[in-house]
Amino acid sequence: MNPESIIEQAKRAFAITKKDIRIYYAKGPVVIFGLFMPLFLFLAFALGNRNLPMPFLLSGLLAMTVFFTATAVSPVIQPWEAQARTLERLIACPVTMKTLIAGDMFASFLFAVGIAIVPIMIGVLVGVVPLYPLLLAAGIILASFCFSALGLLLSTPATNVPSNIMMLSSLLKFPLIFISGVFIPVEQLPFAGQVLAICSPLTYFTDIARYCIMGTNSFPLSVNFAALAVFSIIFALLAIRLHARTVSRRI
């Protein structure tokens, strides 16, 4: 692909991003699943475990917020498009599947990064200031990309019923927060839980957030960033390939 066509595809991906933001991300699921759901889980856990330090709780809240926001709408964009018969028009346009996925992913990424500011501001208001703000920002950016790619991977089943995808994504997302060190540090989990935690991308971002906010971590930072990068590449490539296979069965 020549550089000129790459630029054109990038412009089209950005147009898809703007469309997604205007149509989908102004809806309730982003606020409910991206911010309110982590907040309610945080409050329930904080009230039941009052001896835990606030930095520990806030790092978990930040991890859940980024995770839930990035995966709130991205799994159901293509089923919604297929149900509304707009996916056919997108496929008929001169865009590649990579462009389509990139546009959807970037919209999810932007909202995850934007809403991540909320728990950070909550922490500042209660006196919990990140120890390493630049490192935390880098972790949020990488994790937002990773979780956005995961959300698009979850939308690959060939269905145009958004509720089917939402049920599938919920079955995966909620168990992940309990095995990823959000509420209980990884080293305190039973052996089976530690094995499962290693397989979760949320584990590595939670560890980054915990180090940047309270100075403790379960894994080396290099391992955390490398794991998120590897998960991001795997999720993105699988999403592109699987969507290319299933899109014809949606329209």
Per-domain residue ranges of the chain: 3-249
pLDDT higher than threshold 70 for residue 48: no
Cα–Cα distance for residue pair 115/126, rounded to 1 Å: 18
User: What distances in angstroms separate CA 153 from CA 7, 25, 77, 203, 207, one per listed residue?
Assistant: 25, 18, 12, 19, 23
Q: What's the pLDDT score for residue 200?
A: 93
- Characterize 53-81 residue by residue with b for buried, 16 or more Cβ atoms within 10 angstroms of its Cβ, and e for exposed: eebbbbbbbbbbbbbbbbbbbbbbbbbbb
What one-character DSSP code corresponds to residue 33? I
**Highest-confidence range of 23-37, 131-145, 154-168, by mean pLDDT?**
131-145
pTM for the complete prediction?
Answer: 0.88
CB contact at 8 A, 122 and 39: no
pLDDT higher than threshold 90 for residue 228: yes
pLDDT higher than threshold 60 for residue 2: no
Query: Encoding tokens for residue 226?
Result: 């490398």
pLDDT higher than threshold 70 for residue 108: yes
User: CA angle 207-208-210, nearest 5°?
Assistant: 65
Q: Which residues contact 214 (CB under 8 A, 6 or more apart)?
A: 53, 55, 56, 59, 131
What are the start-end ranges of the E strands in 80-225?
Answer: none
Could you read off the pLDDT of 56-83 as tens digits, one per residue? 888 988 998 899 888 887 887 888 777 7
Could you read off the pLDDT of 179-212 as tens digits, one per residue? 898 888 888 888 888 999 999 999 999 999 999 9
